[in-house]
Amino acid sequence: MRLGKLMISALVCMVIMLVSSSVFAAGILVKEGSHGHDVITVQRLLKEKGFYFGAETGECDKATVAAIKKFQAAEGILVDGVCGPQTYRRLDPPKAPAGLENARRVMVHASAYSPVETGPRTATGTRLRKGVIASDPNFIPMGTRVYIPDYGEAVAEDMGSSIVDNTIDIAFDTHEEALAFGRQHIEIYILD
């Protein structure tokens, strides 16, 4: 009985940590009482979309919270009056690079790797190098070309037991480059 309660407590703590880390990873969190440049940005974006009519003061007041809630309701997402990662992505979606406006966009959990961690060959037998990704073939089939912002084009040539659903590994030539990339929640473009 006690072990079950301990496991539930640990699970709750993990969920709170994951939610908190994703909010901070997105780089923006605007809620009632917030102030500063992020609030001005959210107020400007809400004004551009016709949800906010006040001054861009940099203070998240009741009018700003009401505008966030109206925007969230219009988008069909959780209406909580807080502009966190999900709301901000809807409010200011990333712009597609030139020529990729019609490509299919998908959000992925991306990590990085290099030959140091896995060896010189991919699961399909090609040389592991920059320009290769590991993907779940049910999500991104082998041989599919993708475009990754700030990385470039890549081809799905690898897979692994921990690569499931919308999780991908992005190959780099060196261990240092892979470490610098780390783990990110990003949007990529499916070219094929």
Instruction: Report all structural domains of the chain as residue ranges with CATH numbers, in order of start.
Output: 27-91 (1.10.101.10), 104-190 (2.40.40.10)
With 90 as the cut, is the pLDDT of residue 37 above it? no
188 pLDDT more than 50: yes
| CB 181 within 8 Å of CB 150 | no
Q: Where do the H-state alpha helices sit in 27-144?
A: 37-48, 62-75, 85-91, 115-118
pLDDT grade, residue 148 (50/70/90)? very high
Q: How many CA atoms lie within 13 A of 36 on its CB side?
A: 6
Which tokens go with 177? 């480059």
The pTM (predicted TM-score) of the whole model is: 0.55
Q: What band does 22 get if pLDDT is binned at 50, 70 and 90?
A: very low
Average the pLDDT over 141-158 and give the result. Answer: 95
Residue at token pair 């190098």: 129
pLDDT score recorded for residue 100:
85
Residue range 81-97: average pLDDT? Answer: 84
Alpha-carbon span 65 to 143, nearest angstrom = 46
pLDDT at 24: 39
Between residues 28 and 147, the one the model is more confident about: 147
**Cα Rg for the chain, rounded, in angstroms?**
20
145, pLDDT greater than 70: yes
User: Residue 113 in contact with residue 134, Cβ under 8 Å?
Assistant: yes
Supply the pLDDT for residue 5.
Answer: 57
